[in-house]
Amino acid sequence: MKKGICKLCDLEKELKRSHVIGRAVFKKALNGANYALRLDKQHKKVIKDQDQWATYMLCGDCEHDLNTKYEGYSLDILRNKKKSVKHKKRDNHYEIQGVNQKKLILYLISIIWRGIESSHEVFNKLKFFDESPVAKNFLKECIKNDRVVLTECYDVRISKLVSTITSFKNEELDFITDIHCSIDNNERIRFLTIFEGYCFEFFYYTDSSQSVSSLGVLKKNKRILRMPYIDVFSIPEFRKSLLDMLEAQNSN
């Protein structure tokens, strides 16, 4: 550990190595392996990598609070580990019954916020928020105060990953991506990440008419989450990352 200013409580404390996407997610996805495959963009080749994108960011108390309040619950929900929650495979959507969607929203907000605050090179593309910190400070206040507010300014959507390639099993769709950020066709700031067999999107609006109204959009007072199925290979960000890796592998 090292001494520094905690990004969440703003106090000078001993900092811990903090994961943007939790260590538990990496452990499950790696399935006993000691490394993952990653595209080294600088040298244009695929390398074996043990890096889990952790940096000194939070003090032990704040790290523990976020993990206890949001991560533990959310991963149990997504993995179908809670007896009070039921997962249902419907023909046209995937359904989770009995879920505290407020906690899920705050869990995903905490991931986006950590990515923005992280000094890891994987998240360098999010540094443009430093030029206008209003958005990241808003996210920080949500998780710091355990409140979901100003929901007219953003939406969070979850989709269940599937594949039209019949040889793929559900457990083989447990990919992890970094956080992609773009401006979509409706001028919304859109964050996207994939892990635990789900696709997570965070939409930040610049206009109230841009709201997302579809399956998978989280509502803090609802207990049933109905999410669309999405073919993992239809997701442009994932497809591009995969093609870049294949191209780099074939050229070496």
Which tens digit of pLDDT belongs to each residue from 29-52?
666 554 454 445 554 544 445 557
What mean pLDDT value characterizes the chain? 83
Q: Is residue 24 part of a domain?
A: no
Does residue 11 sit within a domain?
no
pLDDT, residue 46, reads 44
Does the residue 53 lie in any domain?
no
Q: Do β-strands 12-19 and 54-59 pair in parallel, antiparallel, or remain unpaired?
A: antiparallel
For residue 36, being part of any structural domain is answered with no
Q: Is residue 18 in some structural domain?
A: no
- Following DSSP, what letter does each residue of 108-149 receive, concatenated? HHHHHHHHHH--SGGGGGGGGGGTSTHHHHHHHHHHHTT---
Q: Does some domain include residue 12?
A: no
- The whole-number pLDDT of residue 63 equals 94
pLDDT in tens, 213-222: 789 999 999 9
Q: Which domain holds residue 72?
A: 60-250
Structural domains counted in the chain = 1
pLDDT of residue 39: 45
pLDDT of residue 51: 57
Q: Which residues of the chain have pLDDT under 70?
A: 1, 29-51, 166-172, 208-210, 242-252
**Domain for residue 17, yes or no?**
no
Does 118 map to a domain? yes
**Strands 224-227, 94-97: pairing kind:** antiparallel
* pTM of the predicted protein model: 0.86
